[in-house]
Structure 1
Amino acid sequence: MNTPRRIMLAALLGAAAASGLAAQTAPAGQANYDMETTVYGNLPPLAEMEEGPRVSGIISARKGSRLQITGDDGTVTMVTLHSETEIRTRGGFLGIGNKTLDQSALLNGLPVTIKTSKYAEGLVASEVRFTSDDRMIAAMIRGGTQQQFGEQGAAIQQNAAATEALRGRLGDIDKYNLKGTTNVYFDTGRATLSPAAKNELCAAAQTAGADENSLMLVLGYTDITGSQEVNQTLSEKRAAAVVNHLQQVCKWKPYRMLTPTGMATADPAADNTTAAGRAQNRRVSVNILVSKALDGM
């Protein structure tokens, strides 16, 4: 999930369900009652509909099969769920695996990406995707639950403070100070950590752990070797390998890990036309962040 969407998560949780969710986009600030186009009744098969635009944002309200999606820029889009809508999640903190869920998984406050089809003047969801850790956070905050994050079945009482700290961080998640970055590097086509990389990750975790308010943002990258699809998958695997090691070996707490992301060939650190440059681009970047509201506390 990108950072702007996560910023909106806490602000949008608990929003009242719209009284009539229409399948139409409205500019930021436009009232819901201005949107008159709603998809009702029995819908035809998705295969008979024209492909619609891709919609991304936070589920800010839901009424039955109709969703209100608020984008990063505040634009509101109304989308209707279909009996054929595929709802999938990509595995949470480890960033791996896919799981198909039912429509009950779509909670208010959940950041989603939706493929749509057009029907009449409205939009119908053909596929909804989100990450499982985003859903966990949405459910935790929405329900006010005290999620257990401790190691090896630690008592709920010991985890309550960690949960409340996480909830506080989410409120200021758009106001980070970058405290440091550690890059670890990979061989071509590989997602295996070297012994040196493992040591560097634990050293970074130990340094970051000195500040109880610090969080980690893990971003995986590749060079330009291979197709975009292959590089996307490889960058996710590299990020997952780093998160695995940080949590399982370096004992970094899961609740202090932001969503790991595979960036493929985006944001190259060096020139991809040279072997030396490509070596620098085959990396995972571990960024240590502290909310400005908590920095120094």
Structure 2
Amino acid sequence: MKNRNQTIFFAMTAILLLPVAPWAMEIRQELYEFQMHITKTTTSTTFVIKDSTKVNKSPAENVHLAMIPFELGSAVLSPIAAQRFLADMQNHGITHHTPLVITGYSCELGSEQYNFMLSRQRGLAVVHFLQSQGYTVTTLQAKGEMNPITTNPEELFKNRRVEITTK
């Protein structure tokens, strides 16, 4: 009985560990609406969502918009912040066809891995919102604790942000 169970266990393990056939990978990739390239460094991750060379560029180039603040440990985009940065985008002449770069950050509270993941979730929240409004987001960057605005413990809320720039 023990040998039979071991044989079944080893057979199942071997089946699960077999490499995935290339045609299966192609089928899986065809299910996605866009191709995403990931460039990973030790301090940040960049997701290229759409090739910006194929996007019509508007006259507004390299514009740094107001930062979008987030609560401690949260990746929820508040409706007030969303409306404020939409108005800021309109004031800068950004159209739905302007390629946008979204960069998420976090403060230094918590582990480095948690903050990195939280900065990515914050960026994704803004990407999803902008895409639902019809805007073109070409790049999402997660920076974690990098580039803090302040190190003053009373002002760490300034580091919990997402920045939007044009490409």
TM-score calculated relative to the size of structure 1: 0.38
Q: Flag structure 1 segments of 5+ consecutive residues without an equivalent.
A: 1-82, 88-100, 115-129, 138-164, 171-175, 290-297
Instruction: After TM superposition, give the deviation of residue 110 of structure 1 in Å.
Output: 7.6
What code does the residue aligned with 1:102 have?
M
Q: Does the Cα contact within 8 Å between 2:39 and 2:47 map onto a contact in 1?
A: no
Equivalent residue for 1:283? 161
Equivalent residue for 2:54? 167
Distance in 2, Cα, partners of 1:211 & 1:132: 20
1:183 to 59, 63, 67: 67
Q: Which has the higher contact order (CA 8 A, sep 6+)?
A: 2
Bigger strand share = 1
Q: Does the Cα contact within 8 Å between 1:270 and 1:280 map onto a contact in 2?
A: yes
What code does the residue aligned with 2:141 have?
T
Q: Does 1:261 align with 2:141?
A: yes
SS of 1:219's partner is strand
Deviates more, 1:235-244 or 1:207-216: 207-216
SS of 1:231's partner is helix
What aligned pairs does 1:112-131 form with structure 2 within 5 A after superposition? none
Instruction: After TM superposition, give the deviation of residue 197 of structure 1 in Å.
Output: 0.7
Q: Does the Cα contact within 8 Å between 2:49 and 2:137 map onto a contact in 1?
A: no
What code does the residue aligned with 2:82 have?
K
Aligned residues: percent identity? 22
What aligned pairs does 1:85-234 form with structure 2 within 5 A after superposition? 102=25, 105=29, 111=37, 133=49, 137=51, 167=54, 177-210=61-94, 214-234=98-118
* Number of residue-to-residue matches in the alignment: 135
Bigger helix share = 2
Equivalent residue for 2:19? 84
Let me know the Cα RMSD of the aligned residues.
3.5
Q: Does the Cα contact within 8 Å between 1:205 and 1:246 map onto a contact in 2?
A: no
Distance in 1, Cα, partners of 2:96 & 2:129: 20
Distance in 2, Cα, partners of 1:239 & 1:197: 14
Structure 2 vs 1, CA of residues 265 and 111 (structure 1 numbering), >3 Å: closer, same or farther?
same
TM-score calculated relative to the size of structure 2: 0.63
Q: Does the Cα contact within 8 Å between 1:208 and 1:288 map onto a contact in 2?
A: no
SS of 2:126's partner is helix
Distance in 2, Cα, partners of 1:208 & 1:177: 10
Q: Does the Cα contact within 8 Å between 2:77 and 2:125 map onto a contact in 1?
A: yes
What's the CA shift string for 1:168-215, capped at 9, x where partnerless? 669xxxxx9412322011111011122321121211332355557632
Q: Does the Cα contact within 8 Å between 2:55 and 2:98 map onto a contact in 1?
A: no
